[in-house]
């Protein structure tokens, strides 16, 4: 299969043929948002320039601001915590589950303080967090839950599609994701008031925009009025371009096939490691459906050194192994830094001992192969590495 097909090309050409006339409006964006809301079982979908702006806007729209605390996992892209900082708030790191590697609800509850306003659970590698437990905590403490589902398209949690459980959910269309427009993102929510606030934050605070799909543009009748008061609130220009929306719409219409291909690739890796005692896959609890943005295993470094494994895998025909991201609070931009005068958590070693143990042992295998024969070669290379070091 191809990553980009004639469907996406035809939608891009449709936009180009419009000559970007203002009268053409944001037709492609409207179509994308309407379809995305349908697929992910939400009332509203609002498109963005990327999947970090999405979270910034959602937090701001929920009233999360300076001095507020937002509980986040440390094992993910730093963008999750950057969005908290963009809102003027303080990231507070909770530890991860030792088997699923998603944020641990017990650790979340221990981190709650009078300043806590929100939780951002991340569906890491395509696996959702324990959302029932998180939503129960949020209800008891009156907290806003923003799902970061950048790596999880068409994943399921106990029969519910991932993205439909929290108060809002963020998706990314960056180039490595299940569906991509090069860059881009989407926020979904069932809350009309929240959606209106997100749309205005996304669109320079314009009063004429609203929650419904296609309400991101302003008509000539309104904008040409000399008495028109444009800005009802402070906002950013986070809108998705029509060309990106065109590509994203084509990808959305092919999304099930794109996700299925990644699941097929993950199954090849899973078969390769099935009887290996020193490679432990990410645990998938009962009634969860993993969408496999990547296939990830934990390496027993007492058996094989991480760098030795990577070197041998490349020698035997594999692509380079990706390490898990450095834990966010140990990144140079965070470690031993204070972002707010009331910040209580010191960003240094020891905050999340489970995550600190697991992160240097993770091996991330790519699943974004669009030729199954190539993926089979990579899985065979993995099998050869396992045979080399011994099962």
| Of 255, 277, 301, the domain-final residue | 255
- What is the model's pTM? 0.95
Cα–Cα distance measured from residue 264 to residue 372, given in angstroms and rounded to the nearest whole number = 8
DSSP assignment of 227-289 equals: T---BSS---B-PPPHHHHHHHHHHHHTHHHHHHHHHHHHHHHHHHHTT-SSEEEPP--TTEE
Tell me: do 103 and 178 sit in the same domain: yes
Tell me: do 44 and 178 sit in the same domain: yes
- pLDDT value at residue 71: 98
Tell me: do 46 and 129 sit in the same domain: yes
CB atoms within 10 A of CB 220: 9
Whether 177 sits among the annotated catalytic residues: the reply is yes
**How do residues 205-242 score in pLDDT, each as one tens digit?**
888 787 776 665 666 777 787 878 888 888 999 999 99
**How do residues 154-163 score in pLDDT, each as one tens digit?**
999 999 999 9
Tell me: do 37 and 170 sit in the same domain: yes
Catalytic residue among 30, 177, 298, 378: 177
Tell me: do 364 and 270 sit in the same domain: yes
Tell me: do 32 and 113 sit in the same domain: yes
- pLDDT value at residue 215: 60
H or E segment and range at residue 193: helix 192-202
The predicted model gives 93-112 an average pLDDT of 98
């Amino acid at each position: 299969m191809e990553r980009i097909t004639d469907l996406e090309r035809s939608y891009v050409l449709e936009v180009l043929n419009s000559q970007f006339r203002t009268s053409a409006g944001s037709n492609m964006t409207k179509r994308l948002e309407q379809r995305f809301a349908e697929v992910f079982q939400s009332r509203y979908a609002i498109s963005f320039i990327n999947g970090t702006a999405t979270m910034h806007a959602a937090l701001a729209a929920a009233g999360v601001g300076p001095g507020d605390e937002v509980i986040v996992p440390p094992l993910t892209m730093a963008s999750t915590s950057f969005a908290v900082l963009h809102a003027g708030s303080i990231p507070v790191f909770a530890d991860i589950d030792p088997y699923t590697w998603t944020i641990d609800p017990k650790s979340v509850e221990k981190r709650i303080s009078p300043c806590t306003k929100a939780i951002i659970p991340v569906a890491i590698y395509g696996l959702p967090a324990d959302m029932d437990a998180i939503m129960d905590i949020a209800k008891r403490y009156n907290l806003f839950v923003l799902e970061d589902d950048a790596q999880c398209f068409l994943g399921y949690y106990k029969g519910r599609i991932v993205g439909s459980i929290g108060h809002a959910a963020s998706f990314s269309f960056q180039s490595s994701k299940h569906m991509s427009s090069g860059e881009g993102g989407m926020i979904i929510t069932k809350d009309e008031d929240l959606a209106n606030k997100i749309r205005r934050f996304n669109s320079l605070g314009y009063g004429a925009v609203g929650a419904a799909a296609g309400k991101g543009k302003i008509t000539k009748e309104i904008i040409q009025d000399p008495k028109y008061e444009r800005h009802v609130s402070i906002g950013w220009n986070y809108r998705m371009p029509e060309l990106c929306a065109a590509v994203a719409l084509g990808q959305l219409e092919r999304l099930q096939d794109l996700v299925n291909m990644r699941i097929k690739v993950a199954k090849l890796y899973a078969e390769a490691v099935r009887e290996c005692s020193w490679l432990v896959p990410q645990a998938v609890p009962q009634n969860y459906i993993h969408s496999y943005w990547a296939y990830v295993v934990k390496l027993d470094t007492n058996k094989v050194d991480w760098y030795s494994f990577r070197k041998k895998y490349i020698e035997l025909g594999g692509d380079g192994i990706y390490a898990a991201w450095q834990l966010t609070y140990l990144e140079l931009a965070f470690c031993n830094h204070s972002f707010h005068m009331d910040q209580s958590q010191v960003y240094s070693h020891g905050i999340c001992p489970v995550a600190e143990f697991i992160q240097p042992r993770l091996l991330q295998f790519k699943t974004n192969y669009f030729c199954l024969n190539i993926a089979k070669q990579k899985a065979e290379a993995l099998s050869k590495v396992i045979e080399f070091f011994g099962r």
